[in-house]
């Protein structure tokens, strides 16, 4: 057991899986000698060498395309795209090949690969370095979309992603990399992909979040308990797709109210799918319209203006109170 | 570094050609030709949906290249890939059934003409997005190297892929990491309706290999023996130390880009097409095999008869195979748990 931040926790997952399975490789820009732009792959090159920790040129489509070729015959590449905003250079590889190979080859080939991407705003970066675009991947049949919220679940989910027989897009929020340390056990842990967690129990309102938004939901729940006497249930999705509808529905059947918090822009975002899933399963339990707290429908603004764009606790509180008072 | 200028030998060296090999080369080329003629009929009859891109005129490339490789080598291709799949040894019955969209097709009828896959013969598939499969070939090459094998990957693509960014990304990666990939550009001079001259600042495609320090050369894509020879050298290089190559096979498609423009007559002249048909790779090889005494008229006729029977059998098989049941719609998205 060691207290680790998310960077170190992810590094531990990679290290242990590479020790366990020599088919696990790392591929990306500056992941090797340099150790990665956020240091997630630090020291792995020293330990495993250039054969398994591979510095690629700046060629995102080639990274992902080569990753598919590696995976077709059983290697397990963990590809890093330096920032999720760069992924459009390889988006068609993801959409055309990564997601579809199993279907297109009718199960004869499959792509056991992980694509890690740092994402998210609130870190004073700029356009292309701050977006939250999980909805694109969540929308593509054949992909799993995983977003951890803390060091321990990040480590366990990355291990699960590497062992998954299907491709996993793995988003890591830049704001969480160094945000907190947490006890992470030395022995390998996994968490099931496709399963959400109830991280705080409550009876009055369900707050649904993932990634960096989980902290906001928890803080808002604390404040609402203290100032309003309202007990919120907080759900950390952990996996955006496939969506754990059962956990969402069970919670709202109990609370009757739901607020969804995500960093992606509002329209056609994950909140719409989450809200519809709740309505499908818990319509007669609903006491108020389902609310969404999201970024606005704008391209990501520069750091000087990002505070007004990415959701904050005040906006979560305001939406929660309106829902409770409806 | 062995980089040659693009001057073709008058005819390829005939050393090592025996009747058995001549028979195989001829049979494979005729099989592809007859198969596709029947596919065109099937398309006209509405038996085949989607698109259909015929390889007619280009058969020597896939057949010559495959003959220089081992069965455990890999091949990956673009969307004009019936020929590569058949040359690699796939069952024509199952290829035709796939074109027909039937359950006994290579991809249960759900892939169609552009997405043939056959793991049993190491055929890594047809790919519809131009240029997009080149990085996959480098990844497959990487896997071979990682596992310490000596197989090679034949990666086929057209001249239309050359201006795509992934051609350059993949070539760079393969050369940088010394991956055993043979990039085989089937230069048929038209990317759909846009001629080479209207698409590329450098029309001698083999020269792009120079930029990536890769052995590269052009070869007469209508001469099956010349292709066999040049690819054979590339295979030998790749097996020794993973050296990749770029081979530009200068060929021509006698039909249009797809069945949308069956004759391909808008962007090229009739005279040009007729002139190119004089270089028909099957007729050229037939002639040569006769003159060299590798095959007699009787041999050739018996091969042609045999191939015609196999293709008829493939059509009957495809026609008799049922359509995939509706439940198939939801399968093979993720691993079934």
Domains of chain A: 2-184 (3.40.50.970), 197-325 (3.40.50.920)
- What CATH number does the domain containing B199 carry? 3.40.50.970
pTM tops 0.90: no
Whether residue B71 lies inside any domain: the answer is yes
Average pLDDT, chain A: 96
- Chain A residue whose CA is closest to B122: A73
Whether residue B6 lies inside any domain: the answer is no
Instruction: Residue B334: list chain A partners with CB under 8 A.
Output: 102, 142, 144, 166
- DSSP assigned state of A287: S
For residues A239 and A244, what is the distance between their CA atoms, to the nearest angstrom? 8
- Chain A residue whose CA is closest to B116: A105
pLDDT band of residue B175 (cuts 50, 70, 90) is very high
Whether residue B133 lies inside any domain: the answer is yes
Q: Could you give the ipTM of this predicted complex?
A: 0.79
Q: Under an 8 A CB cutoff, do B132 and A65 touch? A: yes
Percent of chain B with pLDDT strictly greater than 70: 96
Q: Where are the alpha helices (DSSP H) in A263-312?
A: 270-282
pLDDT digits (tens, 9 = 90+) for A181-205: 999 999 999 999 999 999 999 999 9
- The size of the A-B interface in CB pairs under 8 A is 127
Whether residue B5 lies inside any domain: the answer is no
Q: Which residues contact A321 (CB under 8 A, 6 or more apart)?
A: A224, A228
| Bond before A242 cis per omega within 30 degrees | yes
Range of the domain at B264: 17-318
Q: How far is CA B66 from CA A264, B122, B154, in A?
A: 49, 12, 8
Higher pLDDT, A25 or B107: A25
A97 as an active site residue: the answer is no
Lowest mean per-residue pLDDT among A46-50, A207-211, A318-322, B189-193: B189-193
Whether residue B331 lies within 8 A of chain A, CB to CB, comes out as: yes
Q: How far is CA A276 from CA A210, A245, A249, A260, B79, in A?
A: 17, 10, 10, 12, 39
Instruction: Residue B110: list chain A partners with CB under 8 A.
Output: 103-104, 106
Whether residue A110 lies within 8 A of chain B, CB to CB, comes out as: yes
For residues B310 and B92, what is the distance between their CA atoms, to the nearest angstrom? 8
pLDDT band of residue A128 (cuts 50, 70, 90) is confident
Provide the domain count of chain B. Answer: 1
Whether residue B8 lies inside any domain: the answer is no
CB B227 within 8 A of CB B292: no
Considering only CB atoms, A62 lies closest to which of B107, B108, B170, namely B170
């Amino acid at each position: 057991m060691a207290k680790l931040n998310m960077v170190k926790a992810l590094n531990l997952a990679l290290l242990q899986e590479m020790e366990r399975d020599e088919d696990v490789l790392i591929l990306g820009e500056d992941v090797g000698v340099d150790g990665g732009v956020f240091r997630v792959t630090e020291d792995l090159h020293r330990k495993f060498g250039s054969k398994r920790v591979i510095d690629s040129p700046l060629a995102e489509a080639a990274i992902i395309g080569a990753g598919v070729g590696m995976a077709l015959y059983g290697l397990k590449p963990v590809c890093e795209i330096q920032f999720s905003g760069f992924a459009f250079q390889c988006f068609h590889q993801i959409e055309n090949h990564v997601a579809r190979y199993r279907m297109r080859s009718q199960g004869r080939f499959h792509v056991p690969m992980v694509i890690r991407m740092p994402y998210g705003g609130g870190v004073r970066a700029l356009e292309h370095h701050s977006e939250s675009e999980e909805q694109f991947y969540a929308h593509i049949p054949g992909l799993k979309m995983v977003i951890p919220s803390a060091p321990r679940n990040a480590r366990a989910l990355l291990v699960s992603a590497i062992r998954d027989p299907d491709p996993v897009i793995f988003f890591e929020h830049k704001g969480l990399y160094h945000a907190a340390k947490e006890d992470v056990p030395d022995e390998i842990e996994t968490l099931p992909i496709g399963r959400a967690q109830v991280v705080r129990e409550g009876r009055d309102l369900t707050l649904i979040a993932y990634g960096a938004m989980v902290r906001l939901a928890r803080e808002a729940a604390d404040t609402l308990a203290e100032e309003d006497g309202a007990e919120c249930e907080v759900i950390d999705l952990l996996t955006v797709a496939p969506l754990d509808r059962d956990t969402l529905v069970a919670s709202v059947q109990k609370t009757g109210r739901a607020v969804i918090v995500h960093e992606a822009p509002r329209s056609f975002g994950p909140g719409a799918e989450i809200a519809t899933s709740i309505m499908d399963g818990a319509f007669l339990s609903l006491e108020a319209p389902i609310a969404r707290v999201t970024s606005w429908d704008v391209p990501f603004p520069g750091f000087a203006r990002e505070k007004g764009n990415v959701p904050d606790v005040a906006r979560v509180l305001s939406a929660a109170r309106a829902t409770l008072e409806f | 570094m062995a980089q040659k200028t693009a001057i073709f030998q008058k005819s390829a060296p005939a050393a090592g050609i025996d009747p058995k090999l001549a028979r195989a080369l001829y049979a494979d080329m005729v099989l592809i030709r007859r198969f596709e003629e029947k596919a065109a009929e099937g398309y006209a009859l509405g038996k085949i949906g989607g698109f259909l891109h015929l390889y007619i005129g280009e058969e020597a490339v896939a057949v010559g290249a495959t003959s220089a490789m081992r069965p455990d080598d890999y091949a990956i291709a673009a969307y004009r890939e019936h020929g590569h799949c058949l040359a690699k040894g796939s069952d024509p019955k199952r290829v035709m059934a796939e074109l027909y969209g039937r359950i006994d097709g290579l991809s249960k009828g759900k892939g169609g003409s552009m997405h043939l896959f056959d793991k049993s013969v190491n055929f890594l598939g047809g790919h519809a997005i131009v240029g997009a499969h080149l990085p996959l070939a480098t990844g497959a090459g990487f896997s071979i190297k990682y596992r310490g094998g000596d197989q090679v990957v034949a990666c086929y693509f057209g001249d239309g892929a050359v201006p795509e960014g992934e051609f350059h990304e993949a070539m760079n990666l393969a050369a940088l990491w010394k991956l055993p990939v043979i990039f085989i550009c089937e230069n048929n001079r038209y990317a759909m309706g846009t001629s080479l001259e209207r698409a590329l600042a450098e029309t001698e495609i083999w020269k792009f290999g120079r930029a990536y320090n890769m052995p590269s050369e052009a070869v007469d894509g209508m001469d099956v023996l010349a292709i066999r020879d040049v690819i054979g050298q590339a295979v030998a290089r790749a097996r020794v130390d993973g050296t990749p190559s770029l081979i530009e096979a200068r060929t021509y498609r006698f039909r249009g880009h797809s069945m949308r423009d069956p004759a391909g007559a808008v962007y090229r002249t009739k005279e040009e097409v007729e002139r190119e048909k004089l270089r028909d790779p099957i007729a050229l090889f037939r002639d040569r095999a006769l003159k060299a005494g590798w095959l007699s008229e009787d041999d050739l006729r018996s091969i042609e008869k045999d191939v015609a029977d196999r293709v008829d059998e493939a059509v009957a098989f495809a026609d008799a195979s049922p359509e995939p049941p509706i439940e198939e719609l939801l399968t093979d998205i993720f691993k079934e748990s």
